[in-house]
Structure 1
Amino acid sequence: MLVSEKMKPAIFLEPDETLAAAARKLRKDNIGCLPVCQEGRLLGMITDRDIAMRGVADNRDPNHMRVREAMSLDAICCSKEDSVEQAGTLMRDAHVQRLAVVNADRHLVGVISLTDLEGGGSERRPFEVIFYKEILGHSGLPHHSELMRISVAQGTKQEAVEAAIIQFEETKRVTNWTTAADGYDVVSIHVGEHGESHEVLELTSERDAKIRPRARVLWEQAGVPEGKDAQFWEQAAGEVDSERPPPRPNERVQ
């Protein structure tokens, strides 16, 4: 089977669009990267990580910084005449989820993803980790004031949180995220059967936010041993849970 039989119509960005516009399009189309084209010809690719690391992390204004300043020029692509096996091998070897499909003149004719080849549905961006400060509103009640929202395109919830913490610490130039934020919320993003996105707030994030720094302290006190992360996490979780009041009847436990 050829790539032309599996590829999808190409959604792309122009090089002079802003990073803010690029981020909105990535979110709207539920994908982690997009081709960048000028007059139909492929120039490069831009990912959500490019936006975060080359834009946000460098304190650039995403409403003024252009896609051409953050995109990667060495876009990995394939031909519509390639076999799907060749495209799949290329993606796996390069550790990417999707390829731009071009013709002999390097004009974009489509895109293809691993989920297309594997018969899955639309691609999804599983998690967004939202770091916040807890402040008091006018009514005197606490609420979350968002500091940074970081999207993670793959992996488990735990892996997404770990990756987001690293990025948050790098961006805020802190060695421990808890010095800059009071906690984080986690939103999981699921794609419906018709390609629509559904966002669900993960209710475990505040508990995790209390467990993580305590587990880190336990790990450091033990001499930073390798391979015992789960042990310190469980110990910290037990300590945090022992401090929580028992749930009221009909109250869902986080």
Structure 2
Amino acid sequence: MRVSALMTTPPVTVGMRATAQEAARRMEEQAVGCVLVTEEGTLRGIVTDRDIAVRAVARAAGGEAPVAGLMSAPVITVGASDDLERAYHLFRRHDIRRLPVLDGGRPVGILAIDDLFCDALQRLADLLTPLSWSALREQARPAADGRVHRPGHGSR
């Protein structure tokens, strides 16, 4: 499966001159935990909600602090056409939670570790559903005496 199948698009971006407050406002408006910092469409860095809390607020830099001083750079990225195995490898190797997704050098999305968790859980559910139905049918079969055993309804 390709990264593009699970990424969130479009990425939320701010310019290099944006302030911490502007970045936080964008995160709130879009219900995301990070913004990509871009300059003329080129990715320059990433700012997370944690960066704002730790680097701006805790250091008393305040909401007017420029994102250029708060962002993480250079940024670990993944290509939109890359296989998800590459993303798994990058998450493990770099101990990060979000990967900007690039296509032709331009940011086109974000892949969060949560996206991989949701995909893994959905795949597990897809595998377990037929097994669950099979187990329920098996348990609901009549016994030799004609009674039907129902899970959770044992005899007393």
Structure-1-length-normalised TM-score: 0.43
Give the C-alpha shift of residue 31 in structure 1: 3.0
With a CA cutoff of 8 Å and minimum separation of 6, indicate the structure with the bigger relative contact order: 2
Counterpart code for 1:25: R
Contact 2:12–2:26 under 8 Å retained in 1:
no
Distance 1:4 1:51 in 2: 28
Distance 1:30 1:94 in 2: 25
- Show structure 2 runs of 5+ residues with no match: 120-156
Counterpart code for 1:76: I
Distance 2:17 2:73 in 1: 15
Distance 2:117 2:59 in 1: 37
**Helix, strand or coil: the match of 1:91?**
helix
**Helix, strand or coil: the match of 2:35?**
strand
Counterpart position of 1:20: 21
Distance 1:16 1:59 in 2: 19
Deviating above 6 A after TM superposition, structure 1's stretches of 4 or more consecutive aligned residues are none
- Show structure 1 runs of 5+ residues with no match: 121-254
Structure with the higher strand share, 1 or 2: 1
Q: Deviations over 1:28-53 (max 9, x none)?
A: 33333221111211001111222123
Matches within 5 A, 1:197-208: none
Counterpart code for 1:24: R
User: Is 2:118 the counterpart of 1:119?
Assistant: yes
Determine which structure has more spread, i.e. the larger CA radius of gyration.
Answer: 2
Counterpart position of 1:85: 85
Q: Deviations over 1:192-218 (max 9, x none)?
A: xxxxxxxxxxxxxxxxxxxxxxxxxxx
Structure with the higher helix share, 1 or 2: 2
Contact 2:41–2:107 under 8 Å retained in 1:
yes
Counterpart position of 2:56: 55
**Helix, strand or coil: the match of 1:4?**
helix
Distance 2:46 2:23 in 1: 11
Aligned residues: 118
Structure-2-length-normalised TM-score: 0.67
Q: Deviations over 1:106-138 (max 9, x none)?
A: 211111122222336xxxxxxxxxxxxxxxxxx
Q: Deviations over 1:165-212 (max 9, x none)?
A: xxxxxxxxxxxxxxxxxxxxxxxxxxxxxxxxxxxxxxxxxxxxxxxx
Backbone CA RMSD of aligned residues: 1.8
Counterpart position of 1:110: 109
Distance 1:33 1:75 in 2: 13
